[in-house]
Amino acid sequence: MKNDRRMIAYIIYIIFGAVLMVLGMLEVVDSFWSGMGGALIAMGAVRVIQFLRYKKDESYREKWDVETQDERNHFIRNKAWAWAGYLFVLIAAICAIVFKLLGQDLLSITAGFAVSILVLLYWVCYLVLKKKY
């Protein structure tokens, strides 16, 4: 049942992407949205192919299940998210300073807000997880 819902969601992504692309070709929406439609079509198609392969190929199903449920892979994914978060904060903070030095105040403020929002999200998540565990 859960897998059937996923398949329906992937098909909806493809349909929604096609609608956005058609609207872009008719110049109802700008090229950003038609590009987003193309990305949705590609993502939906890849996921449908993966889903069909998962249903038909037993060895692929076992490999996929191990990869998604293995504790080591969970640890590696969590560690990768942590590294990505740290690097994002550092890069955005450096960008805020560089943009300010270059006189790009709007970009500097945007990068500064991005750092602030991520740090705020970190602390909220930390407090929630601290109470949970």
How much is the pLDDT for 1?
A: 58
Burial annotation 18-43 (CB, 10 A radius, 16+ → b, else e) = eebbeebeeeebeeeebebbeebbee
**Number of domains the chain is built from:** 2
Q: Is the pLDDT of residue 66 over 90?
A: no
Same-domain check for residues 57 and 13: yes
Q: Is 43 in contact with 13 (CB distance < 8 Å)?
A: yes
Residues 40-69, mean pLDDT to the nearest whole number: 91
Same-domain check for residues 92 and 112: yes
Same-domain check for residues 65 and 83: no
How much is the pLDDT for 19?
A: 96
What is the percent of the chain where pLDDT is above 70? 99
Domain that holds residue 24: 2-69
Specify the pTM: 0.64
Residues 4-10, mean pLDDT to the nearest whole number: 90
38: phi then psi, degrees, rounded to nearest 5:
-60, -40
Give residue 67's pLDDT band: very low, low, confident or very high (50, 70, 90).
confident
Same-domain check for residues 7 and 65: yes
